[in-house]
Amino acid sequence: MKKSTLLTCLAFFLFYQNCLSGVLNTPDSAYLFAYSTTKNSGSNGLHFAWSADRENWNAIGPEYRFLFCDYGRWGSEKRMVTPFMFQDANQLWRCVWSVNEKDGVFAHASSTDLVYWKPQTYPIVIKDNNCMMPEVSFNKASGLYTIDWLSTKGKDTLVYGVNTKDFQKYTETKLLSKTNRLNIREKAMISGNPEIGLIHQVPWSVIDGLIKTQQLATYNNQLNDESYLEDSIRFKGLKPVEATVSANVLQRKKISDLLMGVFFEDINYAADGGLYAELVQNRGFEYALSDKEGYDKAWNNTKAWSLNGSAGTFTIDSVSPIHSNNKHYALLTITGIGTGLSNEGFNGIAVAQGERYDFSAFVRNPDHKNKKLVVRLVDRGGEVIGETSINATTSEWKKAESVIIARKTASDTRLEIIPQATGSVALDMVSLFPQKTFKSRKNGLRADLAQTIADLHPRFVRFPGGCVAHGDGLANIYRWKNTIGPLQTRKPQRNLWGYHQSVGLGYFEYLRFCEDIGAEPLPVIAAGVPCQNSATGGAGQQGGVPMCEMDSYIQDILDLIEYCNGDIHSTWGKKRAEAGHPKPFNLKYIGIGNEDLITDIFEERFTKIFEAIREKHPEITVIGTVGPSSEGTDYVEGWEIATKLEVPMVDEHYYRSPGWFINNQDFYDKYDRAKPKVYLGEYASWGNTLYNALAEAIYLTSLERNGDVVRMASYAPLLAKENFTQWNPDLIYFNNTEVKPTVNYLVQQFYGQNSGDTYIDNSIQTSDNRDIVRKRIGASMVLDSKTDDLIVKLTNLLPVEVNTRVKLEGQNGIKPSATKTVLTGKPSDVKVTPVSDTISVSNHFNVTLPAYSFTIIRLNTIVSE
């Protein structure tokens, strides 16, 4: 039984209850109390309670959140303080509230049914003051609403107000008299707690609708919370299940051959200290207190560097930098030989015996005295395990280069630079790079990590994020032009995940990596708005790129297309050629926006960008954005905009429980095929156990089945450095010497290495037809027309075996032996080794799916036309 069938049953149950309650004579109307609680500082959102007598209140929930404030940063900053909910002159429900005790904004949202709320707005109404206890009155004669509030500065509490007709445009803020205050908030006891809110008399049907919404959410949450931990009870006495998977290979449809890809974001030290092979941390001396918003005093221009020895000084200078984008450099002045600079790398520098490492640095002699600098790798015990030297020969910046060969393998060395003469030397862009990078590229990628990504066989690579793409405030939006060209001219910046981006891994390197692994590049560019969770610029997207700057912002995007695809005589194509790649990169896709808050500010900017690309580059598929979740206001509004504009594809994101993935396998079955296609740009179930991986595996069967509408999908995030993570779970963990793919990775890899371009319709019959059993057995069949292989994927999330009969009708020429690969173990396992063997097959064959397993069978065949 599918989830939709279950929902029908639930609807019937609710209907039946409704009939019963009708019989029980429900009131025509009742009182509705709208409030937010003060616990958790108001971050629980808007709640409702109802009462027949205005005295005794019944919480709808308890404390079910009907509306959640999206203002401010992730987590505790998103608060709804003193909501004031009312019905306007057109019977539309509106709610205004304070967002905190400091910002001069109030929030507004509207709803026709109190369940679905339109996008929130956060008008800035007062500077340098707060906006507390907003309330709204209506003047029938003028048709104007007045929003007044209290602003408290020092001891003074004053009343201010603005007028509006439509809650979109507001008049200037005026000082009002205290007599203007309505003060109509009331107290009610809800579940034993005194709460403050607004009371409205409403038809009973309104309350009934709210109760049903909450009940449906509770029911869905129960499904989403399903986990293997209750399987022994849920499946008590369950015997091995018999299943038949039937398919007629002539019943097929074309699906995307780009489904499996990767999402790369510089989160969890994925770039510097991760995929980017540079071994020196803070090579440009550009780390800044602001990277960590000042809370780590040691995170400054000297981070990872220290003076080794006492005969000298190490300071940071910025008087005559190599380039204005790279303002800081080290000034080392020594008075005794032996003292020098030391860099600790990213938690140590790992080197391997016999390997060659390119050392380079920009150096100059402010004292005009030539000097030799010894450069060496020193292990934890103080042993020098590799050494070279360079010369500082001029008082102008000059790049000096040499090679160090490691005499020993060591995971934790430091790099030392020791002048062999007293005096001063300036150093910048100090670099140590393994020669063995992925595909031996200069300024390349860490070979083992890049290979692990390549082994997923991704059909596309999305970069540079995620939230890194739209940034923390306007100034932090990722600008691709800052990331190309000679390294010393690139513009490093703060990473919104709380560290630094050297952008040594920049657009050129991303594009080259895509080409090296045969994946389509998929750059994602901010839609002219920063992340809605921005800390800077006030209310997140309130600070969209000013409209007067949008033309130049859009030009940057068009220039990116030229950089990728233009011929070498074009302005930007020439820069690509200068970087060593005269051939175009053949960009086909571009993402605009990253799970943005869908507001007017977003829509205006997105539309302008989309239309410009459509006009100038109709050959490029633009991918729009529909918010950070599989439901809710941004999802609905984002889809509406994309449909209206006929955006070819949209980027969906959702991180959910394994139960959600198991219970929502029909998510895309119901999608309108005439609407934009889907790029599932970020998804993951919450964990790295086998159970999580199997939940993703079963969901992926549904993505393949819907491969006509879901064109691309990428698990997120991709990489995470152990002990340096800001987000869990991730697909691949690593440290300086090891790469640790997760079980989830194995599932992605199996799908990536066994994808197809044609889906074969199939159906499953099981000996036990209960929904809880059926939804835990998943199958998909695809044909890979490049090899003529037919690939059968089978997932079993049950605690018992599933004896499966596979029946392939209409299929000639199946070769008698096929490869079968199985991933199985305990659901809590985080390490599982897949086992492959050869099995005998024909049109009908049997395969046993172990409890908690994922099985792939690759049949060699010539599929009849």
**Contact residues for ligand AHR, defined by CB under 6 A:** 265, 267, 465-467, 594-595, 628, 653, 682, 716-717, 727
Instruction: Using the minimum distance from each CB to ligand AHR, give the nearer residue, 717 or 778.
Output: 717
What are the angstrom distances between the C-alpha of 661 and each of 322, 702, 800?
52, 10, 20
Tell which residue, 316, 319, 313, has the closest CA to residue 286.
Answer: 316
Q: Are 236 and 690 in contact (CB under 8 A)?
A: no
- Take residue 824 and report the two structure tokens written for it: 């199985």
CB of 536 to ligand AHR, least distance (A): 17
Q: Are 249 and 864 in contact (CB under 8 A)?
A: yes
Instruction: Using the minimum distance from each CB to ligand AHR, give the nearer residue, 84 or 497.
Output: 497
Q: How many distinct helices (H) and strands (E) make up the chain?
A: 14, 45
CB of 70 to ligand AHR, least distance (A): 13
Q: Is the dihedral of CA 64, 69, 72, 73 positive or negative?
A: positive
Find how far residue 156's CA is from the centre of its chain: 44
Go through 420-448 and write b for each residue having 16 or more CB atoms within 10 A of its CB, e for each that does not: eebbbbbbbbbbbbbeebbeebebbbbbe
Tell me which residue has its CB nearest to ligand AHR: 466
CB of 728 to ligand AHR, least distance (A): 10
CB of 464 to ligand AHR, least distance (A): 10
Which H or E run includes 722? none
Which H or E run includes 723? none
Report which residue type is found at 452: T
What residues are paired with 417 via a beta bridge?
341, 375
Report which residue type is found at 185: R
From 595, 603, 637, 652, active-site residue: 595
DSSP string spanning 369-433?
Answer: --EEEEEEEE-TTS-EEEEEEEEE--SS-EEEEEEEE-SS-EEEEEEEEEESSSEEEEEEEEEEE
Q: Is 724 helix (H, G, I), strand (E, B) or coil?
A: coil
Q: Is 440 helix (H, G, I), strand (E, B) or coil?
A: helix
CB of 634 to ligand AHR, least distance (A): 12
Tell which residue, 636, 638, 666, 640, has the closest CA to residue 651.
Answer: 638
CB of 532 to ligand AHR, least distance (A): 10
Tell which residue, 282, 267, 380, has the closest CA to residue 326.
Answer: 282
Instruction: Using the minimum distance from each CB to ligand AHR, give the nearer residue, 105 or 526.
Output: 526
What distance in Å separates the CA atoms of residue 596 and residue 627, rounded to the nearest whole number?
Answer: 5
Instruction: Using the minimum distance from each CB to ligand AHR, give the nearer residue, 340 or 717.
Output: 717
What distance in Å separates the CA atoms of residue 162 and residue 137, rounded to the nearest whole number?
Answer: 11
Q: Is 153 helix (H, G, I), strand (E, B) or coil?
A: strand
CB of 719 to ligand AHR, least distance (A): 11
CB of 594 to ligand AHR, least distance (A): 5
CB of 540 to ligand AHR, least distance (A): 13
Tell which residue, 236, 238, 234, 214, has the closest CA to residue 226.
Answer: 234
Instruction: Using the minimum distance from each CB to ligand AHR, give the nearer residue, 119 or 466.
Output: 466
Instruction: Using the minimum distance from each CB to ligand AHR, give the nearer residue, 504 or 628.
Output: 628
Instruction: Using the minimum distance from each CB to ligand AHR, give the nearer residue, 267 or 456.
Output: 267
Residues 6+ apart with CB under 8 A from 371: 365, 391, 392, 419, 420, 421, 423, 425
The answer to whether 595 is a known catalytic residue is yes
Instruction: Using the minimum distance from each CB to ligand AHR, give the nearer residue, 349 or 716.
Output: 716
Q: In what order do the strands lie in the sheet with 186-190?
A: 58-59, 47-51, 29-35, 193-203, 186-190
Instruction: Using the minimum distance from each CB to ligand AHR, give the nearer residue, 629 or 860.
Output: 629
CB of 726 to ligand AHR, least distance (A): 8
Instruction: Using the minimum distance from each CB to ligand AHR, give the nearer residue, 151 or 476.
Output: 476
| Residue positions annotated with a catalytic role | 595
